[in-house]
Chain A
Amino acid sequence: MEWWQAALIALFCYLGALTTPWVLGTTGGWYVITRPLVAGLICGIILGDVKTGVLIGIAVQAVFIGLITPGGAVPADLSFVSYLGIPLAMVAKAPPDVAVSLSVGFGVIGVAAWQILSVGNAGWAHLDDRYAAEGNLNGIIRSNYLAQIGTFVLRGILPFFVLLLGSSSAQSFITFLNDQIPWLVQYLAILGGALPAVGIAILLLQIAPSASMLVWFLAGWVLIVYGHVPLVGVAVVGGLLAVLHYMYLSRIEIGPGEAQYG
């Protein structure tokens, strides 16, 4: 990896961080740039191999498809998953399922960076209290910009050096593993295949209001394994069933007399 490639990837790591405002805030950053699906494309363009980037991005995205950050509690740090795990797996020429295990590892490490930032930033809030007592609105506005210093150090400068130093050894490291400890690579591939189960289970936990709602999850599962319906088709069927669900809930809760569905 050239230094400018490391710099560009680190720049996207910063732009997509949870606390970076510049690209439509959380909407364009955290929820778009930092999704592994999108990061795979961006890293693929920067490293000159779009196809590999997208395929690794999809594999990694599967693990984190149900990731929610309730109240700022980040269970796994997507910034480092997407912009350290994916590019380093690409330069190491690791297959997608090995890349998944690698990325999850970076995600666990990255949580520490998030905790440092979200505790340290309280200093700005204390400064803002003083400005508020003085009626200094511009001071509070300025702190919203100055707070970017911490984010830039942890999400831009730190990843730049990790990428620069990591990329030179990443490929020889994977080659060494393949030749000397083949069982480790085999195991990482098995683990990488199983890890998306965690992402799916989190998703279930978040969106199923009751255990009985799992029948809908099974319906989607069965459409794929028995019916071989493509995913877009599953989403369409899901949409139709959601409308039906809304109709009969209305009939139960409002009563047949008032609900008009022809």
Chain B
Amino acid sequence: MAELAATQPTGAAPPADEKKLTKGDLRRAWWIWTFFNLSAFSMERMQAPAFVYMMSPIIRRLYGHDPSEIKQALQRHMVFFNTEPQTGVIAHGVTAALEEQRANGAAINDEMINSVKAGIMGPMAGIGDSMIPGTLIPILLAIGMSISADGNPFGPIFYIVSYIAIILSLSYYLFMFGYRYGMNTMRELAAGGFRRVTTSFAVLGLIVAGGVGATVVSVKTPLAYTSGELTISLQETIDKIFPQLLALGLVLLLWFGMRRRGWPINRALGVVLVITLIGFLPNLLGQIFGLDWLKSLSIF
């Protein structure tokens, strides 16, 4: 926490002609953001208070001697800001670079800085959400879940260590990348190479999602056809042809409903509730009224 407490720039004041951010300023800004990115989050301004806090070492270094510049900088950055907090830091690095150029007399106004921020935060929120919680986290969780399938503690430990190590190094790299390349960042991202990488990540994510789905979703039917000595279980027949077919059908039904019909998540939960309840109804009524023939008609 020493990093957070020491927000005052250290060392000698920069010469009046050339203002330069030090590696320490940038590193401190990144640490502040890593800890505080959502701490004062609200629906109205989202991550704006955290963005200003992140900018504090940068503002102090560049405008430390000038109250009116500080005031302008604070108002400039108290505007709505929201991105995927761990990968969206490209925007923060770019902003630091722009502020540095502005402090050295470049013709950069408030609108320009904020339109660059907004131009990066949107795409990075989309890319970041699909790469981190959409792909990386499910993969690491799936591996952790399979390690701990017998209840040993090493799966969660694997997840804790691997996730923190990957994200901290990725996020730090993206922040510094944004600072180094400044305005050119978005042009590089838009050059197609990045889209190929994310689509390829989607392949990995989807295959793991398939594996996890087949492992964790459980939909089985007790239905059976009985004729004298002969009992044919529907579930056993299904398992011979395509194991986990009912579970797959349920996943695809929900996917279809959400994608084509725009179901919100609560509607999807409701659909599962209704389907299982209807299928279970004969068993329920059979138990309440003591009717065994009714129980045997239960689908689930």
Q: Which residues from chain A sit less than 8 Å from chain B, CB to CB?
A: 18-22, 24-28, 30-32, 35, 37-38, 40-41, 44, 50-52, 54-55, 57-59, 61-62, 65-72, 75-76, 97, 104, 108, 118-125, 128-129, 131-137, 140-141, 143-145, 147-148, 151, 182-183, 186-187, 190-191, 193-209, 211, 213-214, 216-226, 229-232, 234-235, 237-239, 241-243, 245-246, 249-250, 253
Contacts and interface: CB of A to CB of B under 8 A. Distances in A.
B118 interface: no
B37 interface: yes
A59 B151 CA distance: 11
A26 B207 contact: no
A187 B49 contact: no
A141 B213 contact: no
Contacts of A242: 200-201, 203-204
Interface string B29-59: 0000111111111111110111011001001
Interface in B131-164: 132-135, 137-139, 141-149, 151-153, 155-157, 159-160, 163-164
Given A24-B34, A201-B255, A66 B78 contact: no
A136 B192 CA distance: 43
Interface in B248-300: 248, 250-252, 254-255, 258-259, 264-266, 268-269, 272-273, 275-277, 279-280, 283-284, 287-288, 300
A193 B36 contact: no
Contacts of A124: 40, 42, 49
B82 interface: yes
Given A32-B159, A197-B219, A198-B268, A143 B207 contact: no
B254 A31 contact: no
Interface in B1-50: 7, 33-46, 48-50
Contacts of A97: 218
Contacts of B43: 72, 118-119, 121-122
Contact of A234 (B59, B208, B219): B208
Contacts of A250: 196
B48 A37 contact: no
Given A62-B145, A133-B71, A140-B74, A194 B45 contact: no
Given A19-B38, A140-B56, A195-B272, 4 more contacts: A65-B142, A196-B217, A223-B210, A249-B199
B75 interface: yes
A215 to B, nearest CB: 9
Contacts of A226: 243
Nearest to A142: B53
Contact of A220 (B44, B201, B210): B210
B153 A243 contact: no
B288 A22 contact: no
Given A70-B125, A201-B251, A221-B214, A28 B164 contact: yes
B123 interface: no
Given A141-B56, A193-B217, A235-B139, A208 B202 contact: yes
> Which 8 residue pairs across A and B have the least CB separation, nearest first?
A220-B210, A193-B218, A238-B207, A62-B216, A234-B211, A121-B42, A135-B71, A201-B254
Given A119-B43, A122-B42, A194-B250, A37 B159 contact: yes
A2 B211 CA distance: 39
B interface residue count range (under 10 / 10 to 19 / 20 to 34 / 35 or more): 35 or more
Contact of B137 (A31, A136, A223, A230): A31
Contacts of B52: 128, 132, 137, 140-141
Given A37-B141, A232-B146, A220 B214 contact: yes
Contacts of A22: 35
A183 B298 CA distance: 12
A32 B132 CA distance: 12
Contacts of A241: 203-204, 207
A202 B258 contact: yes
28 contacts: A31-B163, A32-B159, A37-B144, A38-B159, A50-B151, A58-B149, A66-B138, A97-B218, A119-B42, A128-B45, A134-B71, A140-B56, A143-B49, A144-B50, A183-B287, A186-B280, A193-B218, A194-B219, A198-B265, A198-B268, A204-B255, A213-B202, A213-B203, A220-B212, A232-B143, A238-B203, A245-B199, A245-B203
